[in-house]
Amino acid sequence: MPQRTFLNSVILVAALALAAHAQPGSLDPIFGSNGVNTTFVSTTQNNLSPEQAIAIQSDGKILTMADAHLNTGNSFTNVVIRYNADGSLDSTFGSGGFLYMNWNGLNNTFGNAYSLATQVIGSDEKIIVAGSQASGGLRVDRYNSDGSVDTSFGTNGRTIITNGGYALAVAIQTDGKIVTIGDVGTMVRLNVDGSLDKAFGSGGIVQTSLKSRTLGLQSTNKIITCGGATSGRGGIYVERFNSNGTLDGSFGSSGKASVPSCNNVAIDRSDRVLAGGSVNQANSTKKVTYFDFAVTRLTAAGQVDNTFGVGGTCAVDIAGFNDTVWSVKVQASGQILLVGTANSTSTDQNTGVARLNSNGTLDTTFGQNGRVMLDLTTASEYTRAGAIQLDPACGCEKLITSGTAELSGIDYAIAARYIL
């Protein structure tokens, strides 16, 4: 046994050394199986859909979420998956690493979990899951770190707000308060215990002008959201709200700033706003219009940052066809990671990643001239989330991406880790 332990230690040290010298953008060989974990979720499901949801706990463990569907009828359940920091499934969480949730009512009307986050309360780290209630409205549940229901939150672990809209995104303020927003533009703030924060908006609720799937929090406790207008054809905008829920008229033009596209926002250390999505590009070779990765940077005050990219926007062609950013992350160095889907053909969708320098130029030391495409299968992969993990094994930053992929006719949850 001592010899085996010594051998395992030698292998681990060798793997760490290999990872340390790998090119940025390479899959991390000490994560999962050669950088990727493919997870079979349930024997009762045969269709899996990813959510734009991922969270990294303080110990480096990784939380992702998906919907498991049956092809017959409308039956499906939501599942949170937890991986250890090294990409192995955490069997101490929920049921063998899975927290199965079913938020559906009769005929699965409306109920669905869309977003998750971690919330620190004293020495405890809780898990927040937010979405829509089966009878309509907002639902937020809180779980303990082991996946059990935290009955001290809301009513028996759950808060339901019938006029709270859907929660496509959730964010946790530094004071532990919970902010949600969804595609009907309703923003809600809850106190740490799950009750409505009556100091926010009208009794804890703010009706915004945007359909949104993303939230950002500036260091000044101001709230950033972005999306399309809830009515009419009003374009895509970023809005900023004061900590009491009022629209901040000092941001952009009367509280909002126009951007080309926005599926996700990130806030850098200078409180600048990065809005990621896609932009149309004309392809002279294929004689068609296609989409590239795109990110636009606004100053902390909501003005287009013309020092970034070209006119404030950086566009990146990953795979030659339609590419879309679903997640924007900022490293401690200020470098910017764009994560999303990349089509290598008109039908084959893969995982795409790009890294930019802080001025919006491609970081050519990353992947192939700043770009990486991960093609696991001839079927499509659906990557919807990315997060920066501080890997406990090296104390260095690594990129986690999550989504789903079809392998041999079966859908799997996919988590991958990249060297940064």
Percentage of the chain modeled with pLDDT above 90? 70
Higher-pLDDT residue of 109, 222: 222
* pLDDT value at 292 more than 90: yes
**pLDDT at position 217:** 97
Question: For 17, phi and psi rounded to 5 degrees?
Answer: -65, -40
As a whole number of angstroms, the distance between CA 116 and CA 170 comes to 6
Contact 399, 386 (CB under 8 A): yes
User: Which of the four pLDDT bands, split at 50, 70 and 90, describes residue 409?
Assistant: confident
Mean pLDDT of the chain: 88
CA neighbours closer than 13 Å in the CB half-sphere of residue 29: 13
* pLDDT value at 307 more than 80: yes
Higher-pLDDT residue of 186, 375: 186
Contact 178, 128 (CB under 8 A): yes
Contact 328, 295 (CB under 8 A): yes
Question: For 10, phi and psi rounded to 5 degrees?
Answer: -65, -45
Percentage of the chain modeled with pLDDT above 70? 88
**pTM of the predicted model as reported, rounded to 2 decimal places:** 0.91
Q: Cα torsion for 60, 405, 289, 369, to the nearest 10°?
A: 50
User: Which of the four pLDDT bands, split at 50, 70 and 90, describes residue 13?
Assistant: very low
* pLDDT value at 236 more than 70: yes
* pLDDT value at 326 more than 60: yes
Q: Which residues pair with 368 in a beta bridge?
A: 371
Pairing of strands 76-83, 62-69: antiparallel
291 token code pair: 């989409």
> Which residues fall within 8 angstroms of residue 7, CB to CB, at 6 or more apart?
none
**pLDDT at position 297:** 98
User: Which of the four pLDDT bands, split at 50, 70 and 90, describes residue 379?
Assistant: confident
In order, the DSSP letters of 308-362 are STBTTEEEE-SSSS-EEEEEEEE-TTS-EEEEEEEESSSS-EEEEEEEE-TTS-B
User: Which of the four pLDDT bands, split at 50, 70 and 90, describes residue 55?
Assistant: very high
User: Which of the four pLDDT bands, split at 50, 70 and 90, describes residue 5?
Assistant: very low
* pLDDT value at 19 more than 80: no
Contact 244, 199 (CB under 8 A): yes
* pLDDT value at 170 more than 80: yes
304 DSSP 8-state letter: B
* Mean pLDDT score, 73-90: 85
Question: For 47, phi and psi rounded to 5 degrees?
Answer: -155, 130
As a whole number of angstroms, the distance between CA 313 and CA 275 comes to 9
Higher-pLDDT residue of 100, 269: 269
Helix, strand or coil for residue 151? coil
> Which residues fall within 8 angstroms of residue 392, CB to CB, at 6 or more apart?
59, 60, 85
CB neighbour burial string for 361-380, b if at least 16 within 10 angstroms, e if fewer: ebbeebbeebbbbbebeeeb
Q: Give the model confidence (pLDDT) of 330-353 as tens digits.
A: 999 999 999 999 987 767 889 999
